[in-house]
A and B are shown apart, each in its own frame.
Chain A
Amino acid sequence: MPKVTGEFAYASDLFAAGMLWGHTVRSPYAHARILELDISQALAMPGVHAVLTHDDVPGAKSYGLEFADQPVLAIDRVRYFGEPVALVAAEHPEQARRAAEKVRVEYEPLEPVTDMERATEQPPIHDGSPTAGHGFREDPRPNVLRTIVIRHGDPDAQADVSVEGVYQLGIQDQAFLGPESGLAVPDGEGGVDVYVATQWLHVDRDQVAPCLGLEKEQVRIHLAGVGGAFGGREDLSMQIHGAMLALHTDRPVKIVYTREESFVGHVHRHPAKIWMEHRAARDGRLVNVRARILLDGGAYASSSAAVCSNAASFACGPYRVENALIEATCVYSNNPPCGAMRGFGSVQSCFAHESQMDRLAAALEIDPVELRLLNALEPGDTMPTGQVVTGSLPVAEVIRRAAELPLPEAEELPRDPIRLPGGAGNTTHGQGVKRGAGFAVGFKNVCYSEGFDDACSARIRLRVGPDERLGAEIRCAAAEVGQGVTGVILQVARTELGTDDVVVAPGSTDGVDSAGSASASRLTWMAAGAVRLVCRDALEELRSGGGREVDLERTYHHSRTFPLDPESGQVTGERVHVAYICAAMRVVAEVDVELGLSRVVWIGAAQDVGKAINPQAVHGQIEGGTAQGLGLALMEEIQTNDGLITNASFTDYLIPTTLDMPPIDAELVEVPQPDAPYGVKGVGEPPTVVSTAAIVSALRAASGRELARVPVGPEDLAGL
């Protein structure tokens, strides 16, 4: 409700008496040595209270989500365009910006590593290998962040028919609307409170405190209103910087990124180049899938190692295949750092394997939907990692349900140009416009994988009121990023306790342990698990103890996962992933084959959701996730030139508008997940995984073009 009245406080809306404005000085180079840093002129500017450099970082000089390879402020070298070099705090944001311009940095430009295919032959951008010693496969080539090889069955197995292709994806940006922002407030005792838009409060704290040279208890991270996330807020942005300025000036400091800064202020979706070969029997059965996946992780590791693992794990798609050889490498480069974005490695693989399935169907002259059904993975089958699929995974069912959705009726000409490719540009009255239908299936994991115990804690204060009615306050550090997890927590608590008198405390590291991140489609499952557990235990304790009030905290764990063997890529225990989620999509698109303009007419989806506890919110996730996949299919790409981003604005980086989005008919396929609370599964990612592939499939059908790279541009559709 406060979101529709303008009263909901997002991170950029925060205010504190006496607050200063922080600003970040950033590198104009993708790769350079820092020869000299002079802050004296900036310090003398009006209204300026502090100018800080790496010398002022009180504790650890580097941090990172999984590997501490990223300097808080650049030390002697910058490795990507926009890397933070210095910080300014001033009375007015404009004073801070002007002072930032007066920070003198002398750079010696170095040759940037920008081609992911050449990166492993160029001088390393990091000293040593930041990701070595973590149990990954040894790969002595320079600039390798992680290499995975999965050998399954007989990787040389031959078959009647073989198709191969090379597929590429550009860099996609999360483009959440609320720019990175936060307010850091010194507590007067050497500690600091940071109010920030983030996806994972406790891991923010665990990265921030060591860099400030503080104990964890001295740093409290509080969730401010989050204006979208989609993976882009898993890593730190202003947290350490704001806290440094606040502690240095002993004043509250607010930092709000501009949109241009936001494009360099968070990690992006990995660009990829993927070679795949599918070998199949004449009847359509897959015999062998061979894949080489190359991902560009950019300058710092972020979650690239896990993205690489997902891209490899899901390379064959949700299909049964007895033999496979999958090699995936993620490299370091001087391109924009990449990390988590909705779909997390599966988006890239899905575009490749679904393009291949269409190609195979054509080679075998089998209907593409039939080919997919014939090979659909099901519980009991073995994944290329050796994990046997258990629980719910209704691949054939989502394929059938999506294929059964009625296609939209043909539209007559003449029509309003808004319903033609080119839209209001009025570029055609129907001449050259061809219609085609496409299909795709995709899947990925729910929760974290490879032995990472991603637990979720919840705390309850349950009391019996004077009227003998129960009332509760729930604390959970689950990040509400717009996906509705607060609603899930409330719904679960009210259901379990049988009372409407439940409030959810604001998210914070204070007073409760970690909830894990708002990512990997995990939070509905994990938060529901934690809240259900703590509610049931609190009720039990109240009943057996006979008291009037209990205060309990419980931690929920999902089934244990195990790492992959670094040599064989085979799982070293029962499972590498906790569970899987899948979706199928059917798309109708029109292409003006003369001008290369396109229009997505209609999208039909069937998604495996486990159990939909809030169907309206599930549909919202499907529609929104599909829109982001449409963006990647048709328009979204961060453009770089020698590592420099050239389109850091919504004028030049386009995301879908009301004019681009077709109606979406979505079917929810409910096969409850046996080991999940209420049978739920995550729902956020599958629509993004599958929609790019499905839309391009339709564009191929309409245009007759190969379309091996996304985003697909007019020149690709017109064959220029």
Chain B
Amino acid sequence: MRIELTVNGERRETEVWEGESLLFALRERLGLPGSKNACEQGECGSCSVLLDGELVCACLVLAAQAEGHHVVTVEGLAGDGGLHPVQEAFTETGAVQCGFCTPGLIVATADLLERNPAPSDDEIREALSGNLCRCTGYAKIFDAVRLAAGTSDAK
């Protein structure tokens, strides 16, 4: 079947098989492999994208369900002026090791700061608990979120 959707502000069309997830369509059909395939069952958050502004796991959304909707992936966060502040903060604080969880965490953090520009540590903890990271132990991810939020001195 053929679907049409808006990805990172751009109108896109692609052929998909009915059983394909939005994640597969993004990665294998639309040339956007930034969203990651770590578990493909909604447990790890590595494929987090914004669907009409709502944070979702792209692996749990059928590609066909995205027909006519707006999707923002990690590839759509950086603007003409350079990296998104959350991307800058992850780089700066050493929050990236293998980096496989990073795209999902960056999208989830951008979403958190959009809703809550100055989250407390407990709020960060709860908001990012759906994003697994195996390398960092999360300490530097907390640093990155605080840096992006401008609350590094608070705690």
Residues in chain A within 8 A of chain B (CB atoms): 1, 3-10, 12-13, 15, 92, 94, 174-179, 225-230, 256, 258-259, 416, 418-419, 424, 481-484, 616-617, 619-620, 623-628, 649-651, 655-659, 661, 663-664
Contacts and interface: CB of A to CB of B under 8 A. Distances in A.
A1 B102 CA distance: 11
A52 to B, nearest CB: 24
A12 B35 CA distance: 11
B83 A4 contact: yes
17 contacts: A6-B73, A13-B27, A176-B98, A177-B38, A177-B44, A177-B133, A226-B98, A227-B98, A616-B140, A620-B139, A623-B140, A624-B137, A657-B131, A657-B132, A658-B124, A659-B126, A664-B137
B135 interface: yes
Nearest to B31: A15
B117 to A, nearest CB: 19
A649 B42 CA distance: 11
Nearest to A659: B129
A642 to B, nearest CB: 25
Contacts of A664: 137, 139
B125 A619 contact: no
Interface residues of B, number: 55
Nearest to A625: B137
- Most chain A beta-carbon neighbours within 10 Å: one of B39, B102, B125, B139: B139
A657 to B, nearest CB: 5
Contacts of A419: 122
Contacts, number: 166
A227 B38 contact: yes
Which secondary structure characterizes the binding site on chain B? loop
Interface in B86-100: 87, 90-91, 94, 96-100
Contact of A649 (B37, B41, B103, B132): B41
Nearest to A174: B134
A47 to B, nearest CB: 11
B41 A659 contact: no
Interface string B58-100: 0000000000000001110110000100010011001011111
Contacts of A4: 74, 83, 87, 90-91, 96, 99, 102-103, 106
Given A5-B78, A626-B137, A482 B98 contact: yes
Nearest to A256: B37
B39 A7 contact: no
A226 B96 CA distance: 13
A627 B36 contact: no
A7 B135 contact: no
A178 B101 CA distance: 9
Given A4-B87, A177-B133, A177-B134, A659 B33 contact: no
Contacts of B135: 228, 482, 620, 624
